[in-house]
């Protein structure tokens, strides 16, 4: 009886494993059950090892009709090959792909350049799904030469090195290593992947959620030997196309991850559906990410000003606090700025004229006194929750790491009266995180004893009004951030005057011209929306400083239209067109 081997057959689009052997001159074949595949493959491998040299083993394993086995006895890490690999990618093959899929595809199918590809980003941004989709589109021959390695904190770089040598011996050419930054010695020894295995002809993709660890390794061990592919930033265009969910308000509430179930992607629960889930995400995906990277970098020698917080076991708490503080400052700014304008009177007028449910509820509320009380409570809440004393150096360094993670980005605010003044507003790339924390904060404040004497109808009206303002301010931030990222050769900023401002200016320094914008959360056209754009003095000052104004625009939630010289642009169409 011959040792035989395992082959694959495709039946009705699905691949099945079959064991084939020769006995008494006759060839036999039977279906291999999933639960016996690993044991049988290992047994075949052991028998062949006894009969063949390592060279012969390699030749047999890469033969077109022989499947690599998935449980070699001396593998030290968790490896998926063969039938396990098929079961791994099948569930995601109907899902839509993220735009960065093309770069991953080009690396695998392109010429070998001795580099590894690093696929990194915060949790729930589609990294592993991209890998599964790519493997699923490979030919059967390529899949037989592909391995997926899942690492955990119990593994070491020596374990990975051992298994990669085994895979290389068996003819594997495409290796995907997930959660590689969980290795405590990854940052210091990452050159192994490029200098040994990629240089030897293997295509190696490293992925993981510990984004900062990859940034550190790219700066040192993998300098000029890696291709970086970041998944954290998810623009509205991808949110709608990949998830199949439309609407800027949905993006404001849930945008930032690929875990909101939709018609084109997965059906997981919303990552930012509740304050608790949002806070858990900040703690695990961001705070612990930063601490783990710093712990593993330069033998714990790069904590800088954060060393005292780390020694006290309070670093993750401090990082959580900084993220929350960014969102609390945003909420205070909304309460301070928006309610000083005439927006409330416009809202009150709109509510009175509402065709379905006209109401004068906002006419009876002292909004200034109400929001003053909210601000006071918020500041008290901020102080009460500061269990960790955070100094300015702490704040600066943590903000630097948040920027490196692509979680935060600063938008310039230019003061036309003092061009030397430099101010910024911090925008979060994950809008759902900001909305979850800001909205939960407002709701909790309205339950305070201070407002118990206010009728529930008034409290609900105020809550709706404030949340509308939060969504409006966030829509501004989304447009500013996505425009800035989409137009790297342009300068994108807010422009403030002595009275009023342009919500966004896009300045082209090469051609000395600009475009000016107002950004409104409304879905209706109103003359008040474009009063600053029509102000001849503001426009003259802008043209003197930033060149000819090519267009004046209002970005809003209504249909595309024109009002005199003003272009009204639908926000979803604008974002998808970037």
Percent helix, percent strand, percent coil in the chain, to nearest 5: 50, 20, 30
CA 370, 374, 380, 381 dihedral sign is positive
Find the domain containing 171 and state its range.
86-231
Output the CA–CA distances (angstroms, integers) from residue 467 to 249, 373, 379, 511, in the order listed. Answer: 11, 17, 19, 40
- Amino acid 133: pLDDT: 96
Pair (101, 199) in one structural domain: yes
Q: Is 73 within the bounds of a domain?
A: no
Ordered DSSP codes for 102-125: HHHHHHHHS---S-EEEEE-STTS
Helix axes 211-219, 288-296, angle to 10 degrees: 30
**Three-state DSSP class for residue 83:** helix
Pair (53, 99) in one structural domain: no
Hey, what are 184's tokens?
């405590």
- Amino acid 57: pLDDT: 37
Instruction: Name every residue whose Cβ is closer than 8 Å to that of residue 170 and which is 6 or more positions away in sequence.
Output: 57, 58, 61, 62, 68, 72
Structural domains in the chain (count): 3
Pair (11, 112) in one structural domain: no
Pair (99, 210) in one structural domain: yes
**What are phi and psi for residue 550, nearest 5 degrees?**
-80, -30
**What are phi and psi for residue 498, nearest 5 degrees?**
-55, -40
| Dist CA 433 CA 278 (whole Å) | 6
Q: Tell me the pLDDT of the chain (578 aa) as tens digits.
A: 556 777 766 666 566 677 777 777 677 778 877 667 666 766 776 665 555 434 443 443 443 343 444 444 479 999 999 999 999 999 999 999 999 999 999 999 998 788 999 999 888 899 999 999 999 999 999 999 999 999 998 999 999 999 999 999 999 999 999 999 889 888 888 889 999 999 999 999 999 888 888 888 887 778 788 999 999 999 999 999 999 889 999 999 889 888 754 444 444 556 666 667 777 777 777 888 788 888 877 767 778 888 888 888 888 888 887 887 777 677 667 666 644 444 445 555 665 666 666 666 556 656 666 666 666 665 555 555 555 677 888 888 989 989 988 889 999 999 999 988 889 999 999 998 888 877 877 777 777 776 677 788 877 877 887 788 889 999 999 999 999 999 999 999 999 999 999 999 999 999 999 999 999 999 999 988 999 999 999 999 999 999 999 999 999 999 999 999 999 999 999 999 99
**What are phi and psi for residue 59, nearest 5 degrees?**
-65, -40
Pair (372, 461) in one structural domain: yes
Pair (181, 47) in one structural domain: no
Pair (22, 100) in one structural domain: no
Hey, what are 235's tokens?
């623009």
The candidate with the shortest Cα–Cα distance to 429, out of 216, 238, 210, is 238
Instruction: Name every residue whose Cβ is closer than 8 Å to that of residue 26 and which is 6 or more positions away in sequence.
Output: none
Q: Is 524 within the bounds of a domain?
A: no
Output the CA–CA distances (angstroms, integers) from residue 302 to 182, 221, 296, 391, in the order listed. Answer: 18, 16, 9, 18
- Amino acid 202: pLDDT: 95
In contact, 404 and 231? CB cutoff 8 Å: no
Neighbour count for residue 326 (Cβ, 10 Å): 20
- Amino acid 27: pLDDT: 74
Instruction: Name every residue whose Cβ is closer than 8 Å to that of residue 168 and which is 6 or more positions away in sequence.
Output: 197, 200, 202
Q: Which of 450, 470, 490 is the last residue of a domain?
A: 470
Pair (333, 456) in one structural domain: yes
In contact, 186 and 157? CB cutoff 8 Å: yes
Pair (336, 221) in one structural domain: no
Output the CA–CA distances (angstroms, integers) from residue 45 to 42, 241, 521, in the order listed. Answer: 5, 45, 64
Q: Is 120 within the bounds of a domain?
A: yes
Task: Give Cα 464 to chain centroid, integer Å.
Answer: 28
Q: Is 523 within the bounds of a domain?
A: no
Q: Is 487 within the bounds of a domain?
A: no
CA 501, 503, 508, 514 dihedral sign is negative
**What are phi and psi for residue 183, nearest 5 degrees?**
-70, 125
| Dist CA 145 CA 168 (whole Å) | 10
Exposed, middle or buried: residue 482 (CB in 10 Å: 0-12, 13-18, 19+)?
buried
Q: Is 437 within the bounds of a domain?
A: yes
Pair (104, 138) in one structural domain: yes
- Amino acid 14: pLDDT: 65
In contact, 164 and 183? CB cutoff 8 Å: no
Pair (265, 365) in one structural domain: yes
The candidate with the shortest Cα–Cα distance to 405, out of 125, 117, 151, 115, is 125
Q: Is 461 within the bounds of a domain?
A: yes
Tokens 């930012």: give the residue. 272
| Dist CA 444 CA 447 (whole Å) | 5
Q: Is 49 within the bounds of a domain?
A: yes
Q: Which of 439, 470, 501 is the last residue of a domain?
A: 470
**Pairing relationship of beta strands 226-230 and 203-208 according to DSSP bridges:** unpaired
Pair (140, 33) in one structural domain: no
- Amino acid 359: pLDDT: 60
Report the CATH number at residue 116.
Answer: 3.40.50.300
The candidate with the shortest Cα–Cα distance to 287, out of 119, 433, 429, 401, is 401
């Amino acid at each position: 009886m011959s040792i035989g081997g395992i082959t694959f057959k495709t039946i009705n689009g699905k691949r099945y494993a079959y064991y084939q052997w020769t006995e008494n001159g006759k060839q036999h074949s039977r279906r291999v059950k999933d639960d016996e595949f690993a044991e049988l493959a290992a047994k075949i491998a052991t028998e062949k090892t006894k009969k063949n040299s390592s060279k012969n083993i390699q030749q047999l394993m890469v033969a077109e009709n022989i499947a690599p086995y998935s449980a070699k006895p001396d593998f030290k890490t968790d490896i998926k090959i063969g039938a396990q690999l098929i079961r791994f990618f099948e569930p995601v093959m109907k899902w839509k792909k993220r735009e960065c899929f093309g770069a991953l595809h080009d690396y695998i199918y392109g010429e070998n350049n001795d580099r590894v590809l690093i696929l990194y980003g915060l949790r729930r941004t589609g990294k592993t799904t991209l890998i599964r989709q790519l493997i699923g589109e490979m030919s059967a021959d390529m899949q037989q030469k592909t391995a997926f390695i899942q690492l955990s904190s119990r593994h070491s770089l020596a374990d990975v090195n051992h298994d990669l040598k085994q895979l290389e011996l068996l003819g594997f050419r495409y290796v995907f290593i997930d959660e590689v930054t969980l290795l405590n010695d990854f940052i210091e020894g990452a050159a192994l992947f490029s200098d040994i295995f990629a240089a030897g002809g293997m295509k190696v993709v490293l992925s993981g959620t510990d984004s900062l660890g990859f940034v550190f390794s790219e700066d040192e061990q993998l300098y000029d030997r890696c291709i970086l592919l970041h998944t954290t930033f998810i623009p509205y265009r991808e949110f709608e196309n990949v998830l199949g969910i439309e609407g800027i308000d949905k993006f404001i509430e849930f945008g930032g991850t690929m875990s909101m179930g939709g018609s084109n992607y997965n059906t997981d629960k919303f990552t930012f559906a509740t304050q608790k889930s949002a806070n858990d995400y900040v703690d695990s995906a961001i705070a612990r990410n930063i601490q783990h990277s710093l712990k593993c970098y330069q033998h714990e020698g790069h904590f800088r000003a954060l060393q005292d917080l780390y020694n006290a076991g309070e670093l993750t708490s401090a990082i959580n606090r900084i993220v929350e503080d960014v969102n609390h400052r945003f909420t205070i700014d909304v309460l301070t700025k928006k309610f000083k304008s005439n927006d409330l009177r416009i809202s009150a007028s709109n509510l009175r004229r509402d065709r379905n449910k006209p109401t004068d509820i906002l006419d009876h509320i002292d909004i200034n006194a109400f929001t003053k009380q909210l601000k006071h409570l918020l500041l008290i809440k901020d102080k009460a929750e500061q269990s960790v004393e955070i100094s300015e150096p702490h704040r600066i360094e943590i903000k630097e790491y948040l920027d490196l993670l692509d979680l935060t980005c600063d938008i310039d605010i230019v003061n036309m009266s003092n061009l030397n003044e430099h101010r910024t507003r911090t925008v979060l790339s994950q809008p759902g995180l900001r909305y979850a924390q800001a909205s939960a904060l407002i709701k909790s404040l309205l339950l305070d004893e201070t407002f118990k004497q206010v009728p529930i109808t008034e409290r609900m009206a105020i809550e709706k009004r404030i949340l509308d303002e939060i969504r409006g301010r966030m829509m501004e931030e989304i447009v500013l951030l996505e425009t800035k990222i989409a137009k790297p050769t342009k300068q994108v900023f807010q422009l403030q005057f002595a009275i009023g401002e342009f919500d966004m200016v896009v300045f082209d320094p090469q051609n000395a011209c600009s475009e000016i914008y107002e950004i409104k959360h409304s879905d209706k056209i109103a003359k008040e929306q474009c009063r600053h754009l029509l102000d001849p003095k503001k426009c003259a000052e802008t043209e003197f400083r930033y060149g000819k104004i090519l267009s004046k625009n209002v970005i809003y939630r209504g249909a595309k239209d024109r009002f005199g010289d003003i272009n009204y642009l639908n926000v979803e169409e604008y974002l998808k067109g970037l």
